[in-house]
Amino acid sequence: MRRFKLQVQVSIDGYMAGPDNAMDWMTFPWTDDINAYINKLTDTVDTIVLGRRLAEGFIPAWASGPEGEDQESIDWMNDTPKVVVSDSLTESPWENATIAGGDLTETVNDLKSRPGGDLITYGGGTLVSSLIAKELLDELHLFVNPTALGAGLPVFANTGAYQQFDLVGAHAFECGIAAMHFEPKRS
């Protein structure tokens, strides 16, 4: 079965976005070592899963070929098929993206049961919280930025229950970011 991975940047106090969804706190330039780590993480991925609100900014931003990103990353982000989880959209306004609505557990289990590579999500906040609460993720890759925000959108908001995770690995990068790889403890 395909594995479902979360890759998200977080502050040291656990926020994936600051107040008013601000992302300006992620100012650390990515170095070659973090790029190599991400390439290895996404090497087995053939589908990106996004929440609707994130998709509205994420898909057009990558389609525009964002400044400062290498062409290989831009091509991968644009060429990899996307599934946008939404109950308000009935058809995709984006190229290379389909819409999946309805019960989140059924949707994710259906995607995981299909043949192919792994799945990855980058958020947004509502989707991430729901995926964690419903225990649908197989791997959590938290890229911890050395910044404390004090308030904002927490990664583990409204998860509903006590959950335990195993630390699979940790890696510090030259730019000051540390990757923490967790997997849920399941009986």
pLDDT in tens, 33-78: 998 999 999 999 999 999 998 899 899 999 998 888 889 889 999 9
Does pLDDT of 161 surpass 80?
no
* Average pLDDT value for the chain: 91
Q: Residues 95-123: what's their mean pLDDT?
A: 94
pLDDT in the model for residue 165: 93
Does pLDDT of 84 surpass 90?
yes
Q: Residues 78-90: what's their mean pLDDT?
A: 93
Least confident of 117-121, 127-131, 169-173: 127-131
Does pLDDT of 123 surpass 90?
no
Residue 124 confidence class, pLDDT cut points 50, 70, 90: confident
Residue 106: both structure tokens together: 């059924």
Rounded CA gap, 114 and 120, in Å? 14
pTM of the model as a whole: 0.92
Does pLDDT of 187 surpass 80?
no
Does pLDDT of 157 surpass 90?
no
The top-level CATH class assigned to 4-20+29-184 is: alpha beta
Contacts of 106 (CB under 8 A, 6+ apart): none
Q: How many CA atoms lie within 13 A of 138 on its CB side?
A: 11
Q: Residues 166-186: what's their mean pLDDT?
A: 94
pLDDT in the model for residue 158: 77
Tally of CB atoms within 10 A around 24? 7
Q: Residues 145-153: what's their mean pLDDT?
A: 93
